Amino acid sequence: MSRTHRTHRIAVLAGDGIGPEVMTESLRVLDAVEARFGFSTVRDERLVGGAAIDATGHPLPPETIAACEQSDAILFGSVGGPKWESQPPDLQPERGALLPLRKHFGLFANLRPGVCLPSLTHASPVKNELIPNGFDVLCVRELTGGVYFGQPKGREERDGEPVAFDTMIYRKSEIDRILRVAFTAAMGRGKRLVSVDKANVLATSVLWRETANEVAADFPEVALSHLYVDNAAMQLVKRPDSFDVLVTENLFGDILSDEMAMISGSLGMLPSASLGKQNAGGLYYGMYEPSGGSAPDIAGRGIANPIAQILSAAMMLRHSLGENEAAAAIEAAVARTIDDGYRTGDIATGAAAEIRVGTAGMADAVLERL
C-alpha cells in the first residue's frame, strides 16, 4: 500500500539522568522507520525537569508547554535526581513537571505494558516454571480521577486529635471513557479484559462494575471478567500469563502497574503511554515515556537499557501518529534483538551466549534488525 508522505510534529523532552542518553537512541530508531515507512517527524526538543530548573528556575518552562501544545505527541525521557531533591515540592522535577503536564493535557488513560519476553524469564522474580513462555499483560490505569484528586481532602482537629481524609469519587463518564480505551486495547490484542475493583466494599467500585458491564455490550467480542483488587494482586504474581488486558482506577492501577513492572524483571524494558483527547481519526494526544525513572546510579556511563525509550516511541507511533506498521516493525526488531542474545547489564545473566552491549550498542542491534 502506498500512502502520500506524512509529517508529524512531536515535542521531545529528554529530561535528566539517563533520559538524554536513551532518548538519543530512540530518535535514531525513529529516523530509521521514517525512512523505511515514508513519513517524517518534526521534533521540537525542549528542557524539562532538573535540566529546566538549572537553565530557567522552573521544571516546566512555558516554552516547553507551548512546544507540547503545538505537537501531536510528547516523547518524554525521565526527570529527577539527587541534585534537585531539596527543591520546594512544587518545583521538584517530577511533581513540578510530570503532574502539571498530565493535568494540562487531560491525560486520563495510562497504558503500562508488563511484558516478560520468553528469553528474559530469568530476570523475573516469578518462579520460572510458572511462566515458561513469559507473559504480556497490559494495564490500563485511570489517571486523573479517584482518591488522588477527590475533594474534600485535608487534615483537621476532631475531638482533640488530628484526623486526615481523602475522597474517592468517580463520575460515570470518567469510568466509561477509560473502559472504552481498555476494551479497544483488548480488541487489538487477545480480546480478554479483566476489570479490577473492590465492589464488595466501595461505592465507586459498584458504579465501576456496572459501567464496565454496560460498555461491554458495545464490545461483544471481548470477554470481560471482574476481579477484586486484592485477588488481582495475588493472581498477578501467581499466574501473570493468564492476563491479557487489565483495567482499573487510579490508586489500584498505581500499585498494580508497579507490581507488573517488578514481575517483568527490568524497568529498562518497559514503555508507557498516557493518553488524553482523541481526534476524529481515533488517534490520541499522548505522552510516552519509560516506566522507570532517571536512574542516577547509572547515568552518564552509556550502560542504560534504551529499549523502554525505544518502545515508548513505538507506542507513540501507534496511538498518536497512526504509524502502526512502523510501530510493529520496531517492536518486532526489539524482540529479535533480545532473542539474538543482546543484553545490557540490567537484563544480563552472564551466560556465555549473551552479547553484552551498552546503550548505543543495544540500539545498533535493534537498527540492524529493522
Q: Which residue has the cell 507551548?
A: 66
* Rounded distance between C-alpha atoms, residue 272 and residue 139, angstroms: 10
Q: What is the DSSP string of 167-233?
A: -----HHHHHHHHHHHHHHHHTTTSEEEEEE-TTT-HHHHHHHHHHHHHHTT-TTSEEEEEEHHHHH
> Least distance to ligand NAD from the beta carbon of 23, Å?
11
Comparing CB distances to ligand NAD, the nearer of 44 and 94 is 94
Please, which of residues 256-285 interact with ligand NAD by CB under 6 A? 267-268
**Position with the least CB separation from ligand NAD:** 293
To 10 degrees, the CA torsion angle through 135, 140, 143, 148? -70
Number of residues this chain uses to bind ligand NAD (CB under 6 A): 22
Comparing CB distances to ligand NAD, the nearer of 181 and 298 is 298
Among 78, 124, 257, 274, binds ligand NAD (CB under 6 A): 78
* Rounded distance between C-alpha atoms, residue 88 and residue 113, angstroms: 32
Q: Does 98 bind ligand NAD (CB under 6 A)?
A: yes
Grid coordinates given for 120: 528474559
Comparing CB distances to ligand NAD, the nearer of 53 and 227 is 53
What x/- string results for residues 201 through 230 when contact with ligand NAD is judged by CB under 6 A?
A: ------------------------------
Listed residue (67, 64, 6) closest to 34, CA to CA? 6
Comparing CB distances to ligand NAD, the nearer of 81 and 146 is 81
Select from 51-59, 141-149, 203-211, 288-296 the region that touches ligand NAD (CB under 6 A): 288-296
* Rounded distance between C-alpha atoms, residue 1 and residue 300, angstroms: 43
Catalytic residues: 148, 198, 230, 254, 258
The alpha-carbon radius of gyration of the chain (Å, integer) is 21
Q: Does 81 bind ligand NAD (CB under 6 A)?
A: yes
Residues binding ligand NAD (CB under 6 A): 18, 22, 78-81, 94, 98, 267-268, 289, 292-298, 304-305, 308, 346
